[in-house]
Amino acid sequence: MADPHQLFDDTSSAQSQGYGAQRGPSGLGYPTASASPQAAFLADPVSNMAMAYGSSLAAQGKELVDKNIDRFIPVTKLKYYFAVDTLYVGKKLGLLFFPYLHQDWEVQYQQDTPVAPRFDVNAPDLYIPAMAFITYVLVAGLALGTQDRFSPDLLGLQASSALAWLTLEVLAILLSLYLVTVNTDLTTIDLVAFLGYKYVGMIGGILMGLLFGKIGYYLVLGWCCMSIFVFMIRTLRLKILAEAAAEGVPVRGARNQLRMYLTMAVAAAQPLLMYWLTFHLVR
Amino acid sequence: MLKKYFMSHHNLFTGHSICKKSPPSFGCQTWDNLTLIFTNLIIPLRIRSRVVMTPMPMEIFMDPEKLGINFDHIWQKTLTVLNPLKPADGSIMNETDLAGPILFCVALGATLLLAGKVQFGYIYGMSAIGCLGIYALLNLMSSSGVSYGCVASVLGYCLLPMVILSSGAVFFSLQGTIGTVLALVIIVWCSLSASKIFISALDMEGQQLLIAYPCALLYGLFALLTVF
């Protein structure tokens, strides 16, 4: 007979009615006592509740992160800049090293929105700058390693100093755009993309410097500086200067002159920064 | 039958020891304690035959399917990695499986250990950060998103050629020209496999080299660990 205080099911008798029927008398609320010690923990109603609460908490947390990450990092806007394919990247890299023969620098539009980089080689993208930045940090580590000056924290130092210069540049250009009161559709992310293109030239310079010494470094860096200068002028001219000036008609006027100077300043800053961030890596 | 023998001394249901009724002797008391311990194991074992439970340790060794480890799938994915030129099936990454990748990471650490480098921490740290970076990139580049588990799973599987490289490092030093060439070949092999699986699972066209490049950077870091 079932003892009202029994903790365990009595299966000593072969004709036990089975597990379920015996649960009634065990009024202590420990049906898990008859389970294995491991499963006892999971089947215990308290831990069931705890697990359900924990998983709902995790789901809530994930929802919160997903909702709020859109406030700080505009994911859908960023997706536009990563809609690239191999052909575009190849053409863009060619343009960065040799922009002299390219004729049409206008970005094509499709019903008020610029076309994705995949379809237009003039559109800015973030894949190349991001990859170039990471490669620059790794190549800097490699360069320091070949000179026996490497340590893992130097890598972090290089990365953060390059990032700091980039941020400074973006802020300075945004400030000057604001002061000159330019009415432009140049967004911050566009600006970051354009300013990130110089890392490609820097990587080329460092690699040549590693292979061929200082002569190779100066030659390649000089070439890349010229190319980036021309590239930036031709790209920014369409964004910052008024439409009239973009068509090639020289417009006199204080406002346009100021904008010309601004474009020239931005373009000239690129080679300077390229030299500043790489000369200490090549000995 | 064994149980009846135990129970004759100790009434499990009331908790009272039968030893109290007879004059206490040394043997009876210890027997009491032993039965108390054993009943926690024996009775559950009896009950287990009627109810489905979480598998006991012995069972897991006999039949890993109970843990969800599907050896056939692991083998299939390994074969996909080992042959980078054969186009991959998009559905193999439908279930996220971290058993294979963890096995390969441990194997990499073990072969590095054999070569004299204790770098488990670097391996785990770099894999975590690299997986995070590639997860962010893939989410931005693909039209459908990926989960972190899927990225970690693919990258872990494609670590297999790196394990081959580091086991080679046990027998001969990789710091010559041959070692550098071999390391470059292995890096290209790993990243081509990874990008092939990613573009077939995420349905991205024309972006294989673009995905292969960051994977190559990540595997290049592993190769640096192995060679230097």
Q: What is the pLDDT of residue B144?
A: 82
pLDDT per position as a tens digit, B182-227: 899 999 999 998 988 888 888 888 888 999 999 999 998 888 878 7
Is A11 in contact with B47 (Cβ distance < 8 A)? yes
Q: Which of A49-58, A259-268, B28-37, B197-206 has the highest mean pLDDT?
A: A259-268
Please, which contacts does A272-276 make with residues 24 or more away whose CB atoms are closer than 8 Å?
Answer: A273/A165, A273/A169, A273/A198, A274/A198, A274/A201, A274/A202, A274/A205, A274/A221, A274/A224, A274/A225, A274/A228, A275/A221, A275/A225, A276/A165
Is the pLDDT at B87 greater than 60? The verdict is yes
Instruction: Give me chain A's average pLDDT, please.
Output: 80
pLDDT at A21: 45
Question: Residue A242's pLDDT is what?
Answer: 58
Q: Is the dihedral of CA A267, A272, A275, A276 positive or negative?
A: negative
Instruction: Enter the DSSP assignment of A15.
Output: T
pLDDT (0 to 100) of residue A201: 93
Where on the phi/psi map is residue B68: left (φ > 0), alpha (ψ -120 to 50), or beta? Answer: left
Q: For residues B225 and A123, which has the higher predicted lDDT (pLDDT)?
A: A123
pLDDT-derived band at B143, boundaries 50, 70, 90 = confident
Q: What is the pLDDT of residue A22?
A: 45
**Per-residue pLDDT, B46:** 52
| Burial (CB count <10 Å: 0-12, 13-18, 19+), residue A92 | buried
User: Between chain A and chain B, how many beta carbons pairs sit less than 8 Å apart?
Assistant: 80
Q: For B99-127, what is the mean pLDDT?
A: 83
pLDDT in tens, B62-71: 666 666 667 7
Is the pLDDT score of B42 beyond 60?
A: no
Tell me the range of A169-183, A231-245, B39-53 where mean pLDDT is highest.
Answer: A169-183
pLDDT band per the 50, 70, 90 thresholds, residue A103: confident
The alpha carbons of chain A give a radius of gyration, in whole angstroms, of 32
pLDDT digits (tens, 9 = 90+) for A142-187: 888 888 777 777 878 888 998 999 999 999 999 988 888 777 778 8
Determine the residue among A86, A119, A144 to mutate to test chain B binding: the one whose Cβ has the most chain B Cβ atoms within 10 Å: A86
Return the pLDDT at A246. Answer: 53
Looking at residue A180, its pLDDT comes to 82
Distance CA(A2)–CA(A272), nearest Å, equals 90
Query: Is A4 or B58 the better-scoring residue by pLDDT?
Result: B58
Start-end of H helices in A107-197: 127-146, 152-179, 188-196
Chain B residues within an 8 Å CB radius of A5: 13-14
pLDDT of residue B101: 84
Per-residue model confidence (pLDDT) at position B74: 78
Give me the torsion for CA of A229, A231, A232, A237, rounded to 10°: 120
Query: How does the average pLDDT of chain B come out, rounded?
Result: 76
pLDDT for B137 equals 92
Q: Is the pTM of this model over 0.90?
A: no
Rank A30-44, A217-231, A240-254 by mean pLDDT and report only the highest: A217-231
Contact B56 A138 (CB under 8 A): no
Using CB atoms, pick whichever of B45, B140, B210 lies closest to residue A89.
B210
Judging by beta carbons within 10 Å of its beta carbon (0-12, 13-18, 19+), is residue A117 exposed, middle or buried? buried
- Percent of chain A whose predicted confidence (pLDDT) is above 90: 29
pLDDT for the residue A97: 92
pLDDT at residue B117 greater than cutoff 80: no
pLDDT at B28 over 70: no
**Residues 113-132 in A contacting B (C-alpha not used; CB under 8 Å):** 127, 130-131
Lowest average pLDDT, out of A59-73, A119-133, B39-53, B161-175, goes to B39-53
Which of the given ranges, A238-247, B17-26, B63-72, B168-177, has the highest pLDDT on average? B168-177
Q: pLDDT value at position B55?
A: 59
Q: What is the pLDDT of residue B15?
A: 47
Q: At what angle do helices B208-227 and B177-202 cross, to 10 degrees?
A: 140
Tell me which amino acid residue A101 is.
L
Cβ separation B44–A36 shorter than 8 A = yes
Mean pLDDT of B47-62: 58
Residue contact B14–A3, C-beta within 8 A: yes
CB spacing of A12 vs B4 below 8 angstroms: yes
**Cβ separation of B47 and A19 shorter than 8 Å?**
yes
